Amino acid sequence: MLAPLLLAAALAPAQYTVSMPDPPSHFFHVEVRYGDVSAPFRFAFPAFTPGGWKIDEIAGNVLGLSAADGAGHALAATKIDKETWSIAKPGDGTVVVRYRVYADEKGTPYVARLNGDVAHANLATILGYASDRQTAPARLTISPAPGWKVACSLAEADDAPGVFTAPNFDQLADGIFLAGAWSEQTFTSDGTRFRMVFWRPPEFKDRKVADDVRGIVREAAAVFGETPFDRYLFVFLMEPDGARGGIEHLYGTSIGQPLDAFTDRDVYVRFLGVTAHEFVHAWNVKRMRPFGLGPFDYTREALTHNLYVAEGFTSYYGPLVAVRSGTTKREEFFKNLADNIVTDRDNVGIREKALQDQSWDWWLDSAIPYLSFRTNYTRGAFVALVLDLEIRAATEGKRSLDDVMRALYQKTGLRATGYTDAELREALESAGAPGMDAKLDAMVGAPGPLDVPAALARAGLEVVPDPDTPAVPFTGWRSATSGKDFPNVDWVEPDSPAARAGLQSRDLLVALNDRRLSGENLSKEIRRLTSGTAVMVTFFRDGMLKRAELLPGATVPPKLIVRPNKDASAAEKAFLDAWLAPRAAGAKP
Ligand SMILES: [Zn+2]
């Protein structure tokens, strides 16, 4: 449709002002001013945050919404559903909406926070929109608390320094900002200016953070072939009590990390891993995105079969670009693979429900204990790994999954709508190798295990049990109880020894062969069992003591190691080197 676009282009920008008169109250004060209003209109809050993929209804955090015309005369504002207000037509063509929105996030970077020390927001979690003007441009003024400085991922207006602009509400809502006494490191790569802002300012020790992140940035860009933005803002929320997670945006990312992330190498590798993951998203999901993930209808779920591509393929590429850049070591890359193989092996959900269906249902809260949206990350990453190594093998190293990602990005990355299921398969077939579309269907269309070790063998890698952690007989119950309490059965794996013994969730394990169990000794007592030799389990169910016979299954190694096979052929070693070698022009091998 052409007419609404022309109408939108003619509309004056919506003028947003975010201020912080009382930071300890945790309320941002927001004012939005609209011109050219000639009819009653509707003002609403997003039902979800892009990147979060769950209904979070920020309207629940809003207080005191009011509306006025340009002269300050009140206009009736009536709430008509859980997130929308209907506002009366003004006499002078101007509507000013004011409200307060509560923001007190801690430990994660997904929403917003305002307190006596700092302000941070994913703008989708504090800004409302006019329902019929989502395509209209917007201008944003951030008025921080006294003494605070502002970093924002949106473009600064040419005519007004400190005022930020967006061509539509989608891009406004995609923005992030940090206000406070943050510290900053900057670098330039291939013409793009990168800012890394840190709250709280950490001690970097001897870490060359900017050099390491620049290496990651270069290798990520080399996968996709170009960097389609001239600015990018990393916001790092460093918390003394620990923080985790990241959320991706078009021109930046907000990442939570422990304040001491630069002390231990292990913690620093995780810092680099999440940083690489979020940056790969600048292509994969923010630009090259599944059909339906933008432009958004903020009133309802945006459903797609391809969140395992958005998150899983990104989880594959994050560690890969880090190791290609040399910022992480191969042993660190292998350790991450080994840990994830254990996670995938023990993931009951992927044996029960196909990956593309788990993507579609990401938005649903399920009571089934073994279904988790995290499967889209862990299994999705292995789907990418298998495809990558299969394409390399089928084309004798001439092509890889990188070529598929680049082709799909070039075709769909900068257009208004995302790629379809068919376009994803077409790219695998034409830019990857024949049969890869069917290979993908087999991996994501039905539940079941995935033979990752077989794929890694192509690169001369072997997956072996960690000799320092002895294998344990399989029982099939899961319990998170710690300390001296009887272990509570959180849930029982289907078709497991515990299931065959008739155990169920909420059973309280008392003894194995009359030896008392507790949260702290459960693992040790299981290690004493012998596979195939029956034991008596004593447990409480609903306060009644019961007994059942349990036949422990074969032993399972709790930890695995991925390492180069010492018998690997020269061709396999070359395969490994080609896979993990730097791709960026001028990169040091
Ligand atoms: Zn992600």
For residue 6, pLDDT over 50 is answered with: no
Checking phi first, is residue 36 left (phi over 0); if not, alpha (psi -120 to 50) or beta?
A: left
Helix (H, G, I), strand (E, B), or coil: what is residue 397? coil
E strands, 469-527, where? 472-473, 477-478, 491-492, 508-512, 515-516
- CA–centroid distance, residue 52 to ligand 1 (Å): 9
* 491 confidence band (pLDDT: 50, 70, 90): very high
Identify the pLDDT of residue 11. Answer: 82
- 206: Cβ contacts below 8 Å, ≥ 6 apart: none
- CA–centroid distance, residue 268 to ligand 1 (Å): 18
- CA–centroid distance, residue 281 to ligand 1 (Å): 7
| Crossing angle for the helix pair 570-580 and 375-394, to the nearest 10 degrees | 130
Q: Structurally, what CATH architecture does the domain formed by 3-180 represent? A: Sandwich (2.60)
For residue 577, pLDDT over 60 is answered with: yes
- CA–centroid distance, residue 114 to ligand 1 (Å): 24
- CA–centroid distance, residue 277 to ligand 1 (Å): 6
Q: What are the CA-CA distances from residue 444 to residues 1, 347, 501 (Å)?
A: 35, 15, 32
- CA–centroid distance, residue 128 to ligand 1 (Å): 25
Measured distance CA(396)–CA(193) in Å, rounded: 37
* Fold match between domain 3-180 and domain 183-280: no
* Check whether domain 183-280 has CATH 3.30.450.40, yes or no: no
Helix (H, G, I), strand (E, B), or coil: what is residue 6? helix
Q: Where are the domains of the chain?
A: 3-180, 183-280, 307-464, 472-556
Q: Tokens 């921080």 sit at which residue? A: 144
Helix (H, G, I), strand (E, B), or coil: what is residue 546? strand
Helix (H, G, I), strand (E, B), or coil: what is residue 389? helix
Residues with CB under 5 A from ligand 1 (ion): 311
Query: Which CB contacts under 8 angstroms, 24+ apart, belong to 80-87?
Result: 80/42, 82/57, 83/44, 83/45, 83/46, 83/47, 83/57, 83/59, 83/299, 84/42, 84/43, 84/44, 84/131, 85/42, 85/43, 85/44, 86/40, 86/41, 86/42, 87/40, 87/41, 87/42, 87/43
- CA–centroid distance, residue 436 to ligand 1 (Å): 24
Identify the pLDDT of residue 446. Answer: 98
- CA–centroid distance, residue 180 to ligand 1 (Å): 26
* Check whether domain 472-556 has CATH 2.30.42.10, yes or no: yes
- CA–centroid distance, residue 310 to ligand 1 (Å): 7
Q: Using one digit for the tens of pLDDT, what is the confidence trace for 500-545? A: 999 999 999 999 999 999 999 999 999 999 999 999 999 999 999 9
Measured distance CA(146)–CA(138) in Å, rounded: 25
Measured distance CA(406)–CA(224) in Å, rounded: 5
- CA–centroid distance, residue 110 to ligand 1 (Å): 11
- CA–centroid distance, residue 16 to ligand 1 (Å): 28
Q: Are the C-beta atoms of 213 and 326 separated by less than 8 Å?
A: no
- CA–centroid distance, residue 518 to ligand 1 (Å): 37
Residue at 462: amino acid letter:
E
Q: What is the mean pLDDT of residues 408-412?
A: 97
pTM of the model: 0.95
Measured distance CA(346)–CA(341) in Å, rounded: 9
Measured distance CA(158)–CA(315) in Å, rounded: 37
Q: Report the chain's mean pLDDT, rounded to a whole number.
A: 96
Q: Are the C-beta atoms of 75 and 88 separated by less than 8 Å?
A: yes
- CA–centroid distance, residue 150 to ligand 1 (Å): 25
Measured distance CA(38)–CA(475) in Å, rounded: 68
* 587 confidence band (pLDDT: 50, 70, 90): low
- CA–centroid distance, residue 562 to ligand 1 (Å): 24
* 4 confidence band (pLDDT: 50, 70, 90): very low
Burial (CB < 10 A; 0-12, 13-18, 19+), residue 540, is middle
Could you count the other beta carbons within 10 Å of the beta carbon of residue 476? 20
| Strand order through the sheet with 118-122 | 112-114, 118-122, 176-180, 149-152
* 8 confidence band (pLDDT: 50, 70, 90): very low
- CA–centroid distance, residue 372 to ligand 1 (Å): 15
- CA–centroid distance, residue 241 to ligand 1 (Å): 23
* Check whether domain 307-464 has CATH 1.10.390.10, yes or no: yes
Residue-wise burial string across 95-122, b where 16 or more C-beta atoms lie within 10 A, e elsewhere? bbbbbbbbbebeebbbbbbbbeebbbbb
